[in-house]
Chain A
């Protein structure tokens, strides 16, 4: 069966520091991968999605970036965090090439001080 792992679960970072969040999927090949952000009490905002290695699409301009160095690995990064980057970050995967539900990781709660 497929599983998705996301870490760390919680992170507290100072303004201006770098960020790296990692997500890996097991049990499937060539998945679509996604990064979302959820502000407190709000809906989900799609940040990045990827349909294959090295293929990243960005939905909103920001100081975040994403990379997919391996088929089942998706990384969210920042060189300098802003206060507004605080939130709940969720990684998700779906079956590539067809309409299917997205399956979410447990999320990373990021607080910027």
Chain B
């Protein structure tokens, strides 16, 4: 069974600080996706990583993928309150484009 684990599960950080969220997965895959979910809302796609060494950046967020280590990171630079949300990574297992989601990281940015 494919397992996708994120850590930390909960993260409280001050505005202006940097931090990294980690996503580990248990099976070979070179396709990983990051999503954001605001409370009570649906999921919004952030990044699509489709190869080893892929790096994508959007604003204060940067995602990377190391398929050999089965690890993806989501780095937050100089956090602002608007980044408060739950972040999910998802691994694509097969040609059916079936995603397996991580446990989620609930991020709270404190002014």
Taking beta carbons and an 8 Å cutoff, which residues of A are in contact with B?
32, 34, 36, 42-44, 46, 49, 51, 57, 59, 90, 92, 94, 98-107
Contacts and interface: CB of A to CB of B under 8 A. Distances in A.
A43 B88 contact: yes
Given A44-B88, A90-B42, A101-B45, 12 more contacts: A32-B96, A32-B97, A43-B101, A43-B103, A44-B43, A44-B90, A57-B96, A59-B98, A98-B97, A102-B97, A106-B42, A107-B41
Contact of B43 (A32, A42, A46, A104): A104
Interface of B: 31, 33, 41-45, 48, 50, 88, 90, 92, 96-104
A46 to B, nearest CB: 6
B42 A49 contact: no
10 contacts: A34-B98, A36-B101, A46-B101, A99-B31, A101-B33, A102-B33, A102-B99, A104-B42, A106-B42, A107-B42
Interface of chain A, main secondary structure: strand
A42 B88 CA distance: 11
Nearest to B33: A101
A112 to B, nearest CB: 18
A43 B97 contact: no
A42 B41 CA distance: 13
Contacts of B99: 34, 46, 102
